Every structure is written in C-alpha cells, then in structure tokens.
Structure 1
Amino acid sequence: MFRLIHLITIFLTIPTAHSLVDCYTSIFNFGTSLADTGNAILLGKALYAAHFPYGETYFHRPTGRFSDGRLIIDFIAQGLGLPYLPPSLRCSTNSDVAQGVNFAVGGATTLDANFFRDIGINLPANNSLEFQLGWFKDLFPKLCPNPQDCGDIFRKTLFVVGEFGSNDYHTSFFHGKSIEEIRTFVPLIINVIGSTIDVLIKYGARTLVVPGILPTGCSAAYLSVFQSSRSEDYDPLTGCLTYLNEFSEYHNHLLLQELDRLRVLHPHATIIYADYYNAAMRFYRSPYEFGLYGGALTACCGGGGPYNYNASNGCGHDGVTACDNPSWYVSWDGIHLTEAAYRLIADGLLRGPFLSSPITTPCLSLGSGDHPHYE
C-alpha cells in the first residue's frame, strides 16, 4: 500500500505534455545519428538505415532514424506537446518550420573535414556542426520572417545542441589513432560546441539543452573492435571497457566547464546540460531492473560475433535480422540504441535528475529578454 501511494504521488507530480505545451512552441535540433530524423537519407548517406528492420517498432517502416523506433529528440518533442521534428532538408515553407526543425545528420562530426584531412582521414562527407549551423542561417528567413518578432519566437523555442563529439572520436579510434592523440582533439571539439552556442544566442536563442556523450565503452561496436584479453580493462559491474568510458567522462567534464563559462558570458540565456552518460549508465549497470532482459551490451540487430556486431555485415544489410523483442535490448545495431533505451534516457531528462536544470523553468519568464543580433 505504501508503494502504491508513493507511485500515485509521483504520477500526480510529473509534468504532463498538456502542462508544458504553452511553454515552447518549437524545437530546433542539431546533432548526429542519435537525433537524425531523415537528413542523412535525404543526402544519400547511410542508406543501410533506409532498409527494414530500421523503424520496425514504432513507425513500422524506415524513416531515416538510426534505430528501431523513436529517438531521444522524438520523446522530448512528444513530452513538450510538439510534433516530431521534420528533417531540415524537407522544409521549404514557413509552415514547415513553424514548430521546429531538425538539422541533425547521421555521421556528423564536430570538427570539419579539413581537420580530419590534415591528420590523414578522409571523411565521406562534411556534415559538421558548422555545416548544420549554416543550414540554420539559410533557413533563418523562414524561421523568423519578421526580424522584429524574433525575440518572441526564440524565447519560446528550445534549442538542442548535440550530442556532438562521438563521431569525431569514432572516426579517429576506428582509423587507428591512439587514445593519447585523440585526447588532444577534445578541447578543440568543446571549443566548436561553445562557439556554436555563442552564435545561436546571438541569433536570439534563450533556452539551450547541450547533451554530453554516451558511455563509449559500453558500445557493442567498440567492445567488438577493441576486445581485450586483460580482465582489468573491463568494468566488473557492467562489462564495459573502463578506459573508453573514462574518455567519455573526460569529454563531458570539459563540456561542463565550457557551459559554466558560457553561462557567465550570457546570463540572460538558460544553458542546460543533459547528462546522457549517467542517464544511460543506470541500465548498463542494472538492465533487468529496467526490463532490458536481452542484456545491455549485445546488439539486437547485427551480423554475429560476441556482441552481435559486424562492421562489414551490419543491420540493414541483406540477410541480417533483428532480435524478436527490441524493447528488451539497449543496443540496436551496435552503434545506436533501441527505442526502449532512448525512451529511458529521455524520461531521465524530462522527469528525472539528468538535466542540470528543468527545461520547464524558462516557461515562467517567457516575456523577458532583449532583441537578438546576428552575424
């Protein structure tokens, strides 16, 4: 009875989509495949995600999302009473962008192609954060057709910037760069993220959510490629690679420092850190507690191997099938997560302790703020 009363109390105090719908009228999202709702496919990239079983759980067809269903950004939009964000490449009219736009692209890096070329890596495309920011600037006349009204529009807009960094690291690790060299990239990546936030605030953004990166050492792709014979390389509680998770924590630590600096620089803006890392570590430590009976480390859809990940024969390729119940798994294809995992992370952000401040806070002061200025 005590537990029942406790659960009812929690339920009654959780903000509903109805209570939040008047706070934000739109969302603008920048990101990678963790948040892409179709841009990569529209660009003709990552075509494996255009094939079944991608999208099988919720949409029942591939939509360009790198999962079996909805993503974190989908659940955030749903929680705020807003529609799912259209990919920016599909937006051509004012009405298309009225309630938000998704600039995220699968495979997007933070640093541009020139940086990687200088270190001996040729990227297949340059869909960097700067590239996405350029899309935002190009769409700005549609986003804000009357510049005098921009302040009101953007004070009611939630900007989500990231996560960014994971593809820079993935590209570098999988091209044989040492972890010592890759650590030197982290401050450069954080600087680009910070510069982007600064530009968005100058354009009028007032509330920004900036996610950290997920625990890399728990990824089926990394666990497969960087298997170690040394038991001490693994976390005994989760089975994740400890040194890779420590690397993720290093990135997130520097990102937190940068956000603190930006808050001082822009006291009129609300800059919120989204702790993807610890939101995810809950179910890596105790998957059964969250109903993830298929395990936390093995991919649902893959081409075999100890973690069901095969880079040359992955999900979406001919003959590769998915598990019977994706909702029991954390990893979808070895790199990306299942809808079930994304739902848990989003729930931890919207209802739990994994945002540095609630995204509902700015709803109390939507009438304040000054006019934006542009580059």
Structure 2
Amino acid sequence: MAKQVLITLLLLFISSTEVVEGTKKSYGIYDNKNNNSVKLFVFGDSYVDTGNTMQSRSYKPPYGMTYPGKPVGRFSDGRVLTDYIASFLKIQTPTAYVLRNSSTLQYGVNFAYAGTGVFQTSVDGPNMTVQIDSFEKLIQQNVYTKQDLESSVALVSASGNDYIAFVNKGNIIDIKSFTSSLINQLSMNVQRIHDLGINKIAIGLLIPIGCVPRITAITFHLSCVDILNLISVNHNQMLIQTVLQLNQQVGKSVFVTLDLYNAFLSTIETMQKQQKENSTRMNPLKSCCEEEGLTNSCGSVDDNGENKYTLCENPELSFFWDNLHPSQNGWHAVYTLLQSSLGQLIDKN
C-alpha cells in the first residue's frame, strides 16, 4: 500500500516536467578582455537558469515582473539563486551562454538550462556533461586564462529532473541504485570542472521535493509530503559523503555543499508560523502564480487571450512563484540561510 502511494505521488511530481525547445545556433570566438578577478560559472537546471531556455514560458509575462520588470528567462518573478550568489561574490550575474555573442563574459557564463539534469532528461536540452563541454570549448578558445579560472567559482544545481525522468520510466523499486549512479556521475562532473581549473565548486543539495506546490496540492497545501522528501534526504546523505571523499582526495576544500534542503524547510516553517500569527500572510506551500490543475500554465493564455493562471496580490510575501520554482522572496530567504556556507567559496585555503 505504501509503495502504491509513493508511486502515485511521484507521478504527480513527474507531470511538472518542463517541455522546451532548444535554440540551435552557431557561434564564433570571443575577445573577452577580463578585468574582474572573480567569475561565476553555472551548471544545472531551471533553478539557476538565467535565460538559456529561450523557447519557454520564462520569457513570457508574468515571469520577471518583480525584477527586472519584464520576462528575461528566469523561472521566477525576479532573481534566482544564481543572482544572489553572484551578488555575494560582488559581481554582476554571469551571461547566459545563449547570449554570449552579444554580452560581456567578464563575470563568467551560465550554462544552466531548464528541464535538464545530470543525465539526459530533456529532448534537446544540454545535460550537465554537455554544459561542461561548452565550458571546455570556451577555455580551448582562450576566452579565459588559467589565472581567470583559478580565482573563479562554479555553481552546480541539478538532479531534480533526473528523478522525474527516472520515475517516469516506472523503475521506482530501483531508486536506491539510481541514486548511487546519479551521485557517481555528478561526482565525475564536478571533478571534471575542477580539472578544467576551477578551485571552488558549490554543489546544491536536492530540495525537499515533497514541499513544492505541485505536490502539496494533494494535502490542500497544508503540509509537505514527507515520504517524497525521503528521496531528497537519501540523495543528500550520499552526496555529502561523496563531497567529503573528493575533498580528501584533492587535499583541500574545493567542493562545498549548499544545503538547499534545510534552507527550504526552515524558510517554509518560519513562513507557516507567520501565517498562523497573521492571516494576511501567504501560505508558503502555495504558488503565487497559481496554475490550472497540474499544468505548467503560468505564463500561458487561452485561445481568447485570457490568462490561464491567477496571481497572488503580494509576490513579495510568497515562497513559491509557480508550482515548482521559488519566488524572488523565496530565493532571497534561502540565500540568507546559505551565506555561512558561501563564505567557504572565498576562502583561499
């Protein structure tokens, strides 16, 4: 019985997969005169994507309504994790890879692409291996020097879409072995980033997937679904152990984990207490851009041009923007809790 419940819940989560079309273009070599000592290179999915997924709803209103005031490719009403980590490093947000020919690359490059994972989870979106391939090409083209890379930081945030794709194949019984293979591949990926010259790599832990509005809808947004959060817990325990081993191998603290799991839970719990004390506060388990049923309809209109979504009155009080992604307010709260870990990224030891 418990297994059937788990499968049902996971299938609900699967329905959230972002379907997008890739943008295929040919680009040349760049002349990047780099005067900034710290750069940020980003690899992952929609949680850190700042504009690479051009044929997606993130380029349609109401996305971007809080910042910068229009849709620019972020899956939020405003800033996402990438923006906050860039601000911590005292640099501007790095250029989305797809925009590299028309923007400065002095602050780094963001290779993240919505719907992608460590493995191939999107029809034509670049998985993490392909994203790292693109990074290596820039290095081969002498866009960045060895000194540039040594003083830079990489951000890695992926795996959620891998679990969606895995369960979609109906192999839920083998999830433990899948987690092991996923962590092994992720380990090889971050080692490769280090081998390419990056000495500080931040790796996001998997969020509590049982807390996203797509899932909490089955509890009427009253609570997270703990049985699904166990998937995240097991993933994170294995990842933390792997990172410890990697740092031991290199003899220094190259790899840093960002505890998104507890940052999400802590923020949600705090906001739930605030809601109990003040009924005008928004339920953190509900999305601000409320979508129809289980569809990804935020940003969509019907045949008559009418919105297929409704907006909350105060996005600045929400935690989730749509059924999967935090709002700017949510990301800011999470970032605030991550700052102690982020300090390790500027530690020269």
Runs of 4+ aligned residues of structure 1 deviating over 3 Å after TM superposition are: 141-145, 288-292
5 Å matches for 1:150-189?
Answer: 150=146, 152-162=147-157, 164-173=158-167, 175=168, 177=170, 179-189=172-182
| TM-fit CA distance, 1:62 | 0.4
Percent of paired sites with the same residue: 25
- Secondary structure of 1:161 counterpart: strand
Give me the whole-angstrom Cα distance separating, in 1, the residues matched to 2:79 and 2:219.
Answer: 33
Match of 1:295 among 283, 301, 310: 283
Give me the whole-angstrom Cα distance separating, in 2, the residues matched to 1:348 and 1:257.
Answer: 22
Deviation digits for residues 177-222 of structure 1 (CA, Å, limit 9, x no counterpart): 3543333311111111110111111111111111101110101112
1:360 is aligned with what amino acid? I
- Consecutive unaligned residues of structure 2, counting only runs of 5 or more, are 1-34, 302-306
Give me the whole-angstrom Cα distance separating, in 1, the residues matched to 2:97 and 2:234.
Answer: 32
Whether the 8 Å CA contact 1:283–1:290 is kept in 2: the answer is: no
Does 2:202 match 1:243?
A: no
1:263 paired residue number: 247
Match of 2:237 among 230, 233, 253: 253
5 Å matches for 1:98-113?
Answer: 98-112=106-120
2:209 paired residue number: 216
2:52 is aligned with what amino acid? N
1:169 is aligned with what amino acid? Y
- Secondary structure of 2:331 counterpart: helix
Residues 265 and 357 (structure 1), Cα distance of their counterparts in 2 relative to 1, 3 Å cut: farther
Match of 1:38 among 42, 51, 56: 51
Q: Which has the higher mean CA deviation after the structures are superposed, 208-217 or 84-93?
A: 84-93
Does 2:72 match 1:78?
A: no
- Secondary structure of 1:185 counterpart: helix
| TM-fit CA distance, 1:160 | 1.0
Whether the 8 Å CA contact 1:112–1:130 is kept in 2: the answer is: no
- Consecutive unaligned residues of structure 1, counting only runs of 5 or more, are 1-21, 114-122, 305-309, 366-375
Whether the 8 Å CA contact 2:272–2:284 is kept in 1: the answer is: no
How large is the RMSD of aligned CA atoms in angstroms?
2.5
2:323 paired residue number: 334
Whether the 8 Å CA contact 1:53–1:321 is kept in 2: the answer is: no
Does 2:202 match 1:202?
A: no
Give me the whole-angstrom Cα distance separating, in 1, the residues matched to 2:107 and 2:57.
Answer: 29
5 Å matches for 1:308-347?
Answer: 310-312=293-295, 314-318=297-301, 319=307, 320-347=309-336
1:8 paired residue number: none
Residues 193 and 290 (structure 1), Cα distance of their counterparts in 2 relative to 1, 3 Å cut: farther
Whether the 8 Å CA contact 1:103–1:132 is kept in 2: the answer is: yes
Deviation digits for residues 84-116 of structure 1 (CA, Å, limit 9, x no counterpart): 1111121138x7222111000001111125xxx
Whether the 8 Å CA contact 2:216–2:223 is kept in 1: the answer is: no
Match of 1:52 among 56, 61, 70: 61
Whether the 8 Å CA contact 2:118–2:186 is kept in 1: the answer is: yes
| TM-fit CA distance, 1:127 | 1.8
Give me the whole-angstrom Cα distance separating, in 2, the residues matched to 1:201 and 1:28.
Answer: 12
TM-score w.r.t. length of structure 2: 0.80
Residues 344 and 24 (structure 1), Cα distance of their counterparts in 2 relative to 1, 3 Å cut: farther
1:280 paired residue number: 264
Whether the 8 Å CA contact 1:37–1:63 is kept in 2: the answer is: yes
Give me the whole-angstrom Cα distance separating, in 2, the residues matched to 1:125 and 1:24.
Answer: 34
